[in-house]
Amino acid sequence: MRIGYLMNIYPVTSATFIRREINALERQGLDVRRFAIRTWDEALVDPQDEIEKEKTTYLLSGRSKALIGDFLKELVSNPAGVFRAVGLWARLLNNARSGFVRHVAYLLEAISLKRALTAAEVTHVHAHYSTNTAAVAMMAEATGGPGYSFTAHGPDEFLDWSAASLKLKVQRARFVVAITDYCRSLLTLAAGQSEWDKIKVVRCGVQTDEFVPTTAPFEDAPFVCVGRLCPQKAQVLVVQALARVAKRHPDIKIEFIGDGESRSAVEAEIKTHKLDSNVELLGWQSSAVVRERLGKAKALILPSFAEGLPIVIMESFSLSRPVISSFIAGIPELVTPENGWLVPAGSVDAIENALQAAMQTAPEQLRAMGEVGRTAVLAHHDVDANAAKLYDLFRTEAGKG
């Protein structure tokens, strides 16, 4: 059985979980072909991502003329299929109420994808995210390509169900994967109760044998924040809370791993509060460096405004390090008072209190909290165990019309 995996941007440093999922499926014996709309416009820092890039077929990047050529060839050889895809395209455009040029690109990408899947003898395509990738896979099927499924993550995918044609995408899919119970409930609300049985919960995971608990001490250890520097990750609020805690604990430190549009705002907060000795901005780092830094952390801190369920929380727990995160979406399905601290999104006071609590928690208690988190990850977020569930879905559901 040969499966196609379709991503919007791949590989990308902030989404190594997709690479791990594909690799885990290949360890199960599944033949997986990678497809993506475009390349990432930043430098890749992980050698494994460089390898993945070489394995990926791109539909848009460097192929503007080829997209039009594929469309014309398909129109001549398969006019009925193209007209079916155009019919779906019109429904997507009508629901979106805007974005004509963007939707034309989706249609052209779908035709190219169908031709690439056919040439590669792919029997089913699985898209990550219910956004443009699911739309492209759906139109490719309408053209005569293989059936599709997709994984929904959130939160942006659920902001406007109607405009995103989410119900239509679920109805036409062979099956749909939700990464949390919370995500499944939103998909059901969007698609209707009749689609409930089609929506399967398969949680994202980590390769737990790569994330082995360390003996690094918790005393004097820094907090670590991992993720794109952007408003929804709330790093600016973390610095503001740190400024308060540093008055009582002048040696407190936080390492930020990642980069993005909020970097200048974070730097400004650091300068305003004179926290240069308390904060280190490390930029994007390889998976190995992230693993090393998390393994020496007092706790991971990620009090975001919007998330699905961040993989880095699983990574931190796998290393037996506790977590500070937000009480939103699927996060409370993993982070509990037994293994970390949950804070209301956007509350500097709550972030301050969580940092203060972690600073005052004895090292043996921090380690015990981390062990509780690791137990949860081993039970529900082992990437190979979850890949086996996906493989079973591909075998049993992919052939259904």
Spatial contact of 329 and 307, defined as CB atoms under 8 Å apart:
yes
Over residues 333-380, the pLDDT tens digits come to 999 999 999 999 999 999 999 999 999 999 999 999 999 999 999 999
7-53 pLDDT, tens digit per residue, is 999 999 878 899 999 999 999 999 999 999 999 988 898 899 999 99
**pLDDT at residue number 15:** 82
> pLDDT digits over 113-129, tens only?
999 999 999 999 999 99
CB atoms within 10 A of CB 157: 21
Which residues is 270 bridged to in the sheet? none
Is the separation of the CB atoms in 141 and 171 below 8 Å? no
Report which of 266, 185, 181 is spatially closest to residue 231, judged by C-alpha positions.
Answer: 266
Domains of the chain: 2-205+382-397 (3.40.50.2000), 208-380 (3.40.50.2000)
Q: What is the pLDDT of residue 401?
A: 61
Q: At 166, is the secondary structure helix, strand, or coil?
A: helix
For the whole model, what pTM was predicted? Answer: 0.93
Q: What is the pLDDT of residues 72-109, one digit of tens each?
A: 999 999 999 999 999 999 999 999 999 999 999 999 99
Nearest 5 degrees, angle CA 263-CA 269-CA 275?
A: 110
Average pLDDT, the chain: 96
Residue with tokens 């902030």: 14
Largest CA-CA distance found in the chain, in angstroms, rounded: 73
Say if residue 176's pLDDT is above 90. yes
Q: Region 242-246: what's the mean pLDDT?
A: 98
Contacts of residues 284-289 at CB distance under 8 Å and 24 or more positions apart, as own/partner, are 284/13, 284/42, 284/43, 284/45, 284/257, 284/258, 284/259, 285/45, 285/257, 286/45, 286/46, 286/47, 287/16, 287/46, 287/48, 288/46, 289/257
Distances (CA, A) of 46 to 90, 188, 287: 40, 37, 7
Can you name the residues that pair with 152 across neighbouring β-strands?
178
Whole-Å CA distances, 73 to 108, 270, 335: 12, 56, 52
Residue type, 332: P
- Note the helical H segments in 309-382: 311-318, 348-360, 363-380
Taking the C-alpha atoms of residue 64 and residue 359, their distance in angstroms, rounded to an integer, is 54
Among 147, 144, 152, CA closest to 172: 147
* Helix or strand (DSSP H, E) at 4: strand 2-9
Residue 57 reports pLDDT greater than 80: yes
